[in-house]
Amino acid sequence: MAGATKELIASAVDLLYPRVCRFCNASLSRQERGVICAACLETVKWIEPPCCSRCAMPFVGAVEGRFVCGYCTELGFHFEQGVAACLARGVVLASIHHFKYDRQMYFGTHLADWIVTAGRAHMDWSDVDAVVPVPLHPRKKREREFNQAEYLADAVGAAFEKPVWKRHLRRVRDTGTQTKLSREERLRNLRDAFEARDGGAWKGKRVVLVDDVFTTGATLDACARVLRIAGAAEVRVLTVARGAYV
């Protein structure tokens, strides 16, 4: 009886407030999760090999096996692997912005689906000890009212049955937005911005850093550097999207 009542209520709600795609206004069936229709989801540009194993940038051409691009070789990132689900364009980029800046939380279903799908396809979880979200400075978290990386880390942790360490890494300096900064400016901006707490907890651990977008990699690398200094044996990176760095 309770299930039938729930179905009737859901049907009434759908009749009064029909669900539509947030991008094209197409009607959504009750079987479709989230707020993006199947046609718009088909436009998502998934990142598949060949791509750089460190920064996930796609490569056009015939490449066999794992490879590291010249960008990553030159920079010497402190993380060993980088996986991104999709290119940061179209519905993916718009979904991230609506979720992150406009607090349209219903886009979170899609962001979580994308990042978990990529993590399942391209990352080995057998030896991972913990999932770590990139932290926000307390001021920014109060202003935004949530940390998008924590939301994503919770989804990843649940999917792969790994603990999520939200308090072991913190942002101790308010660096402001980095959206329009070059890589060099980002590096200067991030100097001494992060701190690893409970230093002994990191020793020998293999962790996956989670964030929404990999652009230049400066923020993720700053976090990875701090974790490696604290004793982490390996740091990997998992994001929803890969943005352009030029």
Whole-model pTM over 0.85: yes
Quote the DSSP letter at residue 131. E
Per-residue pLDDT of the chain (246 residues; tens, 9 = 90+): 455 454 444 443 444 457 999 999 999 988 888 999 999 999 999 999 999 999 999 987 777 778 899 889 988 899 999 999 999 999 999 999 999 999 999 999 999 999 999 999 999 999 999 999 999 998 988 888 999 999 999 999 999 999 999 999 999 887 766 666 666 776 676 778 899 988 789 999 999 999 999 999 999 999 999 999 999 999 999 999 999 754
What is the tally of structural domains in the chain? Answer: 2
Same domain, 99 and 193: yes
- Sign of the dihedral through C-alpha 181, 187, 188, 194: positive
Distance CA 121, CA 83 (A): 10
Same domain, 78 and 175: yes
Same domain, 24 and 120: no
Same domain, 28 and 120: no
Rg of the Cα atoms in the chain: 19
| Domain carrying residue 172 | 44-242
Contact 147, 111 (CB under 8 A): no
Distance CA 95, CA 88 (A): 10
Same domain, 28 and 74: no
Contact 134, 219 (CB under 8 A): yes
Distance CA 212, CA 230 (A): 24
